[in-house]
Amino acid sequence: MGTAPAGTAPVAAVTGSKWVPPVLQGNRKAWYGLGGGVVAAAVALTLVIVDPFAKETIPQGWEVRPEAEIVKSSVALPKDYVRTGFPDKGYVQFDDPSGVFTLFVTHKAKGSASTQSSDSVQVGTMEEETKKLTDYFKDTSNSQTYDLKFTTGNPGSHDGLEAREITVDYSPKSDGKGIRQLRRIQVVIDKDASALWKFEVWMPAAGDGRKNGDRLFEQANKYWQIKGK
């Protein structure tokens, strides 16, 4: 699921022909009298602050949730999201305390027991797996939705593995108000088609809820790391 992250350090103002690190501006004693060690340390500090290749950190107020046992991955999201794990079904769920957003991570491996039947899991090609997903939503016996609209993204990658995003825009059958909902789902398949992951966020289909849901998806997906691939 780019622009520069919020909080990127602004470019320091330059005056005259020589650039002076901000920590030394207006401090002649530090610049001239304390020797090269202070100057070198100040320059090093400035380079750390503005280094474009520095390792990124998760947003403030977020935390990393290790989920290797159930979904062979770790996910970063707001600290107050409530987790529910479903080991027998192969997924973990994180609910926004306000009840607006839900994030899911699902994992299945070829040959393991299927959550839908007694048959073992089979992982197909990306085209086959995305078709299974859209067929699932179209099947009224499985889906509590109607007036479905699908958008399939271009082929991409996540953690070096084949990935594709599917967006499902729908109205819940149980919702008499007709408030449309949206699910952004990224499907990821291992290199030898031995395992599959789904990263999914449920959100309102329009308005601020959509904007905030898209932001949640993009940020959380950015820090979602698949283990043992």
Task: Calculate what percentage of the chain has a pLDDT beyond 90.
Answer: 52
What single-letter DSSP state applies at residue 142?
T
pLDDT > 60? residue 17:
no
Question: Which range (39-48, 80-89, 133-142) has the least confidence?
Answer: 39-48
Q: Of 205 and 145, which is predicted with more confidence?
A: 205
Q: What does the pLDDT read at residue 59? A: 93
Q: Check pLDDT > 60 for residue 19.
A: no
Give the pLDDT confidence of 164-196 residue by residue, as tens digits.
999 999 887 765 566 789 999 999 999 888 899
Among the ranges given (44-53, 131-140, 156-165, 217-226), the one the predictor scored with the smallest mean pLDDT: 44-53
Distance in angstroms (rounded) separating the CA atoms of residues 154 and 44: 42
For residue 100, is pLDDT > 90? Answer: yes
Q: Over the stretch 58-94, which tens digit does the pLDDT of each residue have?
A: 999 999 999 999 999 999 999 999 999 999 899 999 9
- pLDDT score of 130: 92
CA distances from 118 to 90, 102, 142, 158, 201 (A): 15, 28, 17, 30, 28
Most confident of 11-25, 70-84, 142-156: 70-84
Query: What average pLDDT does range 124-144 have in this prediction?
Result: 84
Identify the residue with better confidence: 120 or 195.
195
Q: Where on the phi/psi map is residue 85: left (φ > 0), alpha (ψ -120 to 50), or beta?
A: beta
Q: Is the pLDDT of residue 27 over 50?
A: no
Q: What is the pLDDT of residue 172?
A: 79
What pLDDT shows up at residue 217?
98
- In this prediction, residue 49 carries a pLDDT of 40
Q: Write down the pLDDT at residue 143.
A: 63
Domains, in order of start, for the chain? 2-56 (no CATH), 62-226 (3.40.1000.10)
Compute the average pLDDT of residues 212-226. 96
Does the pLDDT value for residue 120 go beyond 90?
no
Cβ(123)–Cβ(195) below 8 Å: yes
Q: What is the 3-state secondary structure (H, E, C) of 9-61?
A: CCCCCCCCCCCCCHHHCCCHHHHHHCCHHHHHHHHHHHHHHHCCCCCCCCCCC
